[in-house]
Amino acid sequence: MVREEMKKIIEKATKELGFKPLEVLVERPKEREFGDYATNLAMMVARQTKKSPMEIARKIESEIKNYDSGAIEKVEVIEPGFINFFLSKEYLQKQVGKILKERACFPKFSKRKPGRVNIEFISANPTGPLTLGNGRGGFCGDVLANVLEKSGHKVTREYYINDKGAQIKKLGHSVIGDSEAVYKGVYIDELRKKLLKAGVSQYSPEGVGERAAKVVLREMIRPTVKKMGIKFDVWFSEKSLYRKKEVDKAIKELNKKGFTYESEGAVWFKSKELGDDKDRILIRSDGIKTYFASDIAYLINKFKRGFKQLIFFVGADHYGYVARLQAAALAFGYKAEQLKFIVMQMVRLFQDGKEIRMSKRSGVYVTLDELLDEVELDAARFFFLQRSSDTHLNFDMGLAKEKSEKNPVYYVQYAYARICSILRKAKNFGRRTSNFGRATSKIKKEEFDLIKQLIRFPEIIEDIAKDYQVQRLPIYALELVAAFHRFYENCRVISDDKELSRARLGLVLASQKILKNTLDLMGISAPEKM
């Protein structure tokens, strides 16, 4: 990985100078004029040594020349102490051959050992069809799992079924149609007809709710998940925690550790002592255990299954769960950083500039199933992935359905189809396309720009594996494709110059490989013809 190579060169130089920074940060400057990579290392060292950042930067610049193996063409020091690096053309050319020779373009963790990761996402209550918000968390969770797997982790995709508690009883009341009904819509009418035929009117509201929840899960949620292209490894039932007495055991263990107390007839968890904003109820005064009690038992269940990292995709309304679950982890001897919560902000659906709200089936909002009936899965995935989870997402259904380069997923897929078309026409040149460096003097700027995009791919994967920001993938796909189109428009791939043609075909082949890997990670198809 090029960035790692830059880091090693800088680390050797700083070590020789006697500097000991905590970490060497190497980043890509936003402005091209500031080089291909840059580091603020001199400013970090300056804070430790009380010396001038510019003086330190120039010393590092001078020392780097002793360790560079030809990767760097120029080093530039600018105020207030940034060190910018410009890659050499010869080095960039060699990277094309490396991409073509490598079986995989995915970085393996060198300093941080891969481990077992549990990613819980969607986990919608089985009280109705999946919503657009569920879709956002679903696609993002699935893609993060793909990235972590490619980075060497062993990943389990998990769906937590909240099939016990107040919402199940409310579903029962809704199906019965009494004064305590909460959920509405055509699907409730259909559930009522189906369950009345099965003779469930004899059961309590909770009993009706339990049977209705099974139907919702089997006939609404699971089919939609399948339509999303997601395969869960585990569907975990909340009821199983009670059946196996795991909730009771968790509360008992907290009591042993001195983290519970009784007040006003209820049992409380001393979560405030462990970083929460207040203490939380585990058992209400009427003897009913809270959702939080189940959540603690479920958390411990995951750790006991051997997971080292737990990742939760939750809606914005569940932000309050973060501190309390971290407190629970601490109470049982685990680290708060072993829990990562990705909070998904709201999704709004638009058509012709107007927001679409009502759903024919649910009676409230447009369901995810209805959206996927209108919009192709590839487009849905790309659109849901494009924005950071902490920002609101406006889904333009008209644009998602458009078959033109205005539609970002169509634009990316069209580039892949064009690449495949070029390679089909180039059969006569065979596969001797890896030695890109032979045509050094004839290579244009657009070719080097494309190479610089290609070598970013493993860096993108490594960054996502560290901070879980999956929106980097669609953004990278668009930037890569833009660079490819500029290359294609300015560089004739197949010409009478066979050496140059082979070199450019090598670049096309490398582009095909990287773009295919990018689309695969997003769960989006790579059509060879369009």
- Has residue 27 got a pLDDT over 80? yes
pLDDT at 416 over 90: yes
CB atoms within 10 A of CB 507: 25
Residues 482 and 503 grouped into a single domain: yes
- Which residues, other chains included, contact 20 with Cβ-Cβ below 8 Å and sequence gap of 6+? 14, 48
Closest CA relative to residue 398, chosen from 368, 363, 371, 359: 371
CATH code, domain with 414: 1.10.730.10
400, 425, 447 - which closes a domain: 400
Residues 21 and 69 in one domain: yes
Q: State whether 471 and 391 are in the same domain.
A: no
Within a domain: 315: no
Residue 228 is part of which domain span? 121-240+345-400
Same domain, 233 and 375: yes
| 78 part of a folded domain | yes
CA 446 to chain centre: 30
Q: Do 74 and 215 lie in a common domain? A: no
Q: Is the residue at 95 inside a domain?
A: no
Q: Which residues pair with 351 in a beta bridge?
A: 354
Would you say residue 172 has pLDDT above 50? yes
Residue 267 lies in a domain: no
CA atoms of 63 and 57, how far apart (whole Å)? 10
Domain count, the chain: 3
Neighbouring C-beta atoms of residue 499, cutoff 10 Å: 11
User: How is residue 104 written in tokens?
Assistant: 């995989």
pLDDT at position 33: 87
- Partner residues linked to 75 by β-bridges: 85
| Average pLDDT of span 208-227 | 96
In a domain, 47, yes or no: yes
202-236 exposure pattern, b = at least 16 Cβ within 10 A, e = fewer: eeebbebbbbbbebbbeebbeebbeebbbebeeeb
pLDDT above 70 (res 431): no
User: Rounded to an integer, what distance in angstroms lies between the CA atom of residue 451 and that of residue 99?
Assistant: 10
Mean pLDDT for 232-236 is 98
Task: Return the CATH number at 10.
Answer: 3.30.1360.70
Residue 364 pLDDT class (50, 70, 90 cuts): low
> pLDDT of 468-510, one tens digit each?
999 999 999 999 999 999 999 999 998 888 888 888 999 999 9
pTM: 0.92
The closest of 346, 315, 402 to 124, measured between CA atoms, is 315
Which of 243, 176, 246, 237 lies closest to 206 in space, CA to CA?
A: 176
> For residue 295, is it within any domain?
no
* Same domain? 235 vs 353: yes
Residue range 233-251: mean pLDDT, rounded: 97
Q: 105-146, pLDDT tens digit by residue?
A: 665 544 456 689 999 999 999 999 999 999 999 999 999 999
Cα separation values, 36 from 222, 306, 319, 359, Å: 46, 41, 38, 49
Q: In this predicted structure, what is the pLDDT of residue 20?
A: 72
CATH of the domain at 387: 3.40.50.620
Let me know whether 235 and 126 are in one domain.
yes
Please tell me whether the peptide bond between 80 and the residue prior to it is cis, using omega within 30 degrees of 0. yes
Report yes or no on 205 lying in a domain: yes
- The pLDDT tens digits of the residues spanning 190-209 come to 999 988 877 766 778 899 99
Q: Are 166 and 227 in a shared domain?
A: yes
- Answer yes or no: do 217 and 359 share one domain: yes
**Among residues of the chain, what percentage have pLDDT more than 90?**
65
57 and 164 part of one domain: no
Of 59-68, 209-218, 275-284, 450-459, least confident by mean pLDDT is 59-68
Say if residue 66's pLDDT is above 90: no
Confidence at residue 2, expressed as pLDDT on a 0 to 100 scale: 85
Within this chain, do residues 361 and 462 fall inside the same structural domain, yes or no? no
pLDDT for residue 386 is more than 50: yes
Give how far Cα 384 sits from Cα of 55, 83, 360, 362, Å.
47, 37, 22, 21
Residue 260: CB atoms within 10 Å = 19
In a domain, residue 460? The reply is: yes
Same-domain check for residues 396 and 415:
no
Angstrom distance (rounded) from CA 49 to CA 42: 10
